[in-house]
Structure 1
Amino acid sequence: MRKILSALLSNITGRRPGSTSTSIKYVKQSDAALARKFFLDNFRRVIVLSLIPLAVLGSLTIFITDRYIRYSVEQNNESQLNQMNQLVQVIPAELDSLSLSFDKDPKIKIRLEAILNSESFSFEELEALFYLRNVIDVPANSKPYIHSIYIYYDNPYGRFLSTRDGLEQFAVSLDSDWFSYYRSHSFREEEFATQLRELHTSSGKEHATEVISVYKPFAASGSGQYRGLIVMNVLPSYFETALGQWNQWSDSRYYLTDRNGTPLVRSHFAGSDEPLPLNAAIDRTDELARGDVIRIPYRDAWVSLKQVPRLEWNTVSVIPKGALYSLPRTIVYITVALSLASLLLSVLYALWITRKNYRQIFRIVDVLDSADQNDPQPLPSARAGYISDVYELIVSNILDTFLEQKYLRMQLSERQAKMELLELKALQSQMNPHFMSNTLHSIYWKTFQLTRSPNEACRMIEQLSDLLEYGLRGPDDSVKLRDELANVRGYVALQRTRFAERLQVLWDIDEETEDCGVVKISLQPLVENSIHIGLEANKTLSVKIKCRLIGNALKVTVIDNGPGMSEERLGQVRGALRSDSPDGKRVGLFNTSKRLSLHYGQGDLLRIVSKQGFGTAVTLTFPQPNKTE
């Protein structure tokens, strides 16, 4: 062993065999230059593989990003404004559709005028009113952005047709502000007017819905006035959600404004007090009318604006310049940071490799010395089953015998300790239940002595004593189903004393199943789980116990209407039942499953079905060799 070690040291240090330089101290003092050489070689290999590709790729990325970021940002921003325009254009399209019905269709127009001007209504007029309301109800109910629609013709009774309440009058309607706005404004032909207002849905002022009312007059008279009006109340919240989904840049904001620049809709990310610098852009009416996108600088942001045809609304985006050009700067910072980190990691890795290569021989010396002293200390790689070089292979082969002997001795000691611990636990498991049973009997007679008559506490102690005695009765792990059901009934009676009417248990037992054999105390944990989890989540709980003999197997199912489990949680529970240890929350299920597998020599005898919000069903299968179909 010493000769092998001497040869290895000679190869590394350059000294001739036979020299007395086998001590660690001498090698450390004479081979500092060799350590530096190891470090430089390792460092060069690592730095070429990490830093140079990183620098090249980072430089190319910065160049390409800086070259194309402006163009891509402008194109994406214009595309978003076009999408916003298309989204808003559904409003005039829907108003045009209603105008064709109530202005261009003479039957509908004459019918509605007659109804609004009638003092009383005939049966035919009521049928016509039902049809006319369907004409406006269909778009109002099918379009999520529409809150309500009003149709008005001049009439002496102040009536109008509404999707909210049918035929309404201004005198009793909760919403009549729109009529005042209509009377106080003059409209041009084919013009839409927009008003942002609050619509009250009840007599209390606190119940109000913010809407954008879009007015479209029709049925022009000779004096330039209009006798008819369509009012569509649009929900800003619908468009707010859509605008919020388009936010691709940090702190960017999107707006819908009227022709004067007043915000009608803000994205979720837009501040309510943020002013819009749109005066200069709105004055450029020719460009807006052509559908051009107008961009103006504002503080440290770019404001882009495009007009919605006919409505004369404006779609506006406010994007900070820092968000637009933050990507190239971020790439530069990341490249520099990664380069520095790569340099530091390269130095550390080279130092680690050098230390490992240079000092490996001395670890082998220590291992060989410990082996000579009958105290083998294997190499870390040998303990992991992995040999990295020839030195560890030599030492591993030499120490195999020592390691095997030491491992066998350790295994024997551990097995003896485990056997002693299991024996102690077995003795404790026999003593503790008997102690509990005897103590409960003493408490029972003491309670009876104090009250001098049977009472509820005595009954509960008696029931608990019966449960313990059932578990201790006889060494056999197999019992009849009737005995197991009697034990479960005692447990349920004990729980009903506590929960009273909150707990309901249904028994669905075929008589032919009562003589079937089952594993003792296999049903009570399932019922206990159902009651504990179900009553913790619900005020009341129903549990059904169903027993059926199917072929040569007894199927016992415990069903409850508790909270149930999600598919993810159900998968975790099923996985825990197939593992070697419980997950900490379903110990009863785990123990029952393992007992069935050990008793009958086969697995998958416990099956769980559950749905969140509906309940859980657990089925136990007890093979019956003596039963036939």
Structure 2
Amino acid sequence: MRKILYALLSSITGKRQGSSSTSIKYVKQSDAALARKFFADNLRRVIVLSLIPLTILGSLSIFITVWYIRGSVEQNSENRLNQINQLTEVIPAELDSLSLSFDKDPKIKLRLKNILNTTSFSFEEVEALFYLRNVIDVPANSKSYIHSIYIYYENSQGRFLSSRDGIAQMDSVLDTSWYTFYQSKVFSGEEELVTQPRELVASSDPNGTTQVLTVYQPFGGLNEDGHPRGVIVMNVLPSYFAKSLNLFNDWQGSYSYIADPSGDPLITSDSFGGSIPLPESEQLAEGHLIRSSLGGALVTMKQSPRLAWIAVSVIPTKALYSLPRMIVYITLALSVFSLLLSIIYALWITRKNYRQVTQIVHVLEHADRHDDTVPAMPDKIQDVYELIVKNILDTFLEQKYLRIQLSERQAKMELLELKALQSQMNPHFMSNTLHSIYWKAFQLTRSPNDACVMIEQLSDLLEYALRGTDDAVTLHDELANVRGYIELQKTRFSDRLQVIWDTRAEMKDCRVVKISMQPLVENSIHIGLAAQDQLAVKVKCRMNGANLHVTIIDNGPGIPLERLKRIRASFESDSMQGKHVGLFNTSKRLTLHYGAGKWMRVLSKEGKGTAITLIFPQ
């Protein structure tokens, strides 16, 4: 018991002890170390159970939130840029409409050319001028994003058609910078739209300027110098589109703007934070959506197909991932709170474990002193420590009973040995006597006869029973003994007995208990032939896993159900009940040989027969 106590203390504290006689004293000296070890173990277990799931859940939440937000923002940015491009596409649509009138209609082009070159207006020309002004006045006055429209076709008078002034002279108007740009700009074709941000001078007042985006569309073909003969000039108000851009700024610090192909801003929202360098990518020129992370922001851009304006959306990453950061802070706060709770719980469970270990040591002290007084047993088993205390107390209470049981077992073994010696003496006497009778019968008849054969068979049975001291034999030897017994019975009962053998050669070396089958065959023959004229007995041997199953089947009268229950119950008792001595003895011999277990099975149905199976572990 001292060794058990010493091993228990060593496993708990993790330290080597002195002699086993000082184990109890050491418990008091190692209280602090024991408590620290309990606390460290309990805290580690609690942290694993609390912080790891919390960390995994927080990480998954952050990952899923970032993935969802980024996907949602990217989709929203794409939709936003598509809406911006659709909004700006009204400009080339209006220019195309004007181009159909002034470029594709030869009559209108001719009348425009005549009006701009004439020195005096006829009635038809005045009427034509009224029609031409109406063509440009309608979109200029009905579209709030258009400031004014100019139509210029090369002429000797330096004139152009204006939606605000009608026929205007270059030398008498303030806004002529567009004409300078038109003269200096090299246009690649009539379908090309060119944008110029500029200040439109509306009066002689220097402060009377308006910020406009002037969009040029050439028409009329090229002259000898390779320059377009005419141009449609549309002055667009960027403030109109800027109001729409402000509606798209959903995130704090985000902004949108429209840039020209060189990257210079044309239209900006109120929260404009600076232009973004354009990537050198052919995909942008082809109208594909471009996404990139630049300067701590998620940048999305897309170019319109006609104007070549580039819509840009900028969302700061700080604003984009504010929710994931909040989840991180919440996860950290919950982790700290969980850690504090884990420490408190570890302290409480450490105190409880220490009391329980002290109780175990107290019980072991009683056992170590061989004290007969029994410590108090826990009323209810709640954890492993109380289960240990209960088991120790159960062992403590059963020690004396075990010693008594061992003494009784030794006495029974001695009694069995005595009975074995007696059983060996009686068959020896009978064997010698049978040999004498055999030779006496042979002398009387002067030849072998049935009596001599039966005596010889009976002698073989007795010799097998007395041969050797080993209680285990091969299946071949045991079946040979059973065959000898059956041949002896057939001499007596002649054709009334039929025996069927169902065995296999590969099982002949299996080990079985000696004289375990002959008593069962004897029961079948004795009871079966007493109740009926004909009897069939079958001996079947099969391997079932690692066990040899030997089944003895007969078609005798069977066993009534109530008697069958009593026979089965007798296998579990220590005393024989009823008259089935062979069954009881065989069951007990198998139990003594192989240990506790069900080594015999009895199945029977009244009026049908009986089947008894013996199980021999190999």
Same fold (TM over 0.5): no
TM-score range, shorter chain: 0.3 to 0.5
Q: Please, what TM-score do these two structures have when normalized by structure 2?
A: 0.43
Structure with larger Rg: 2
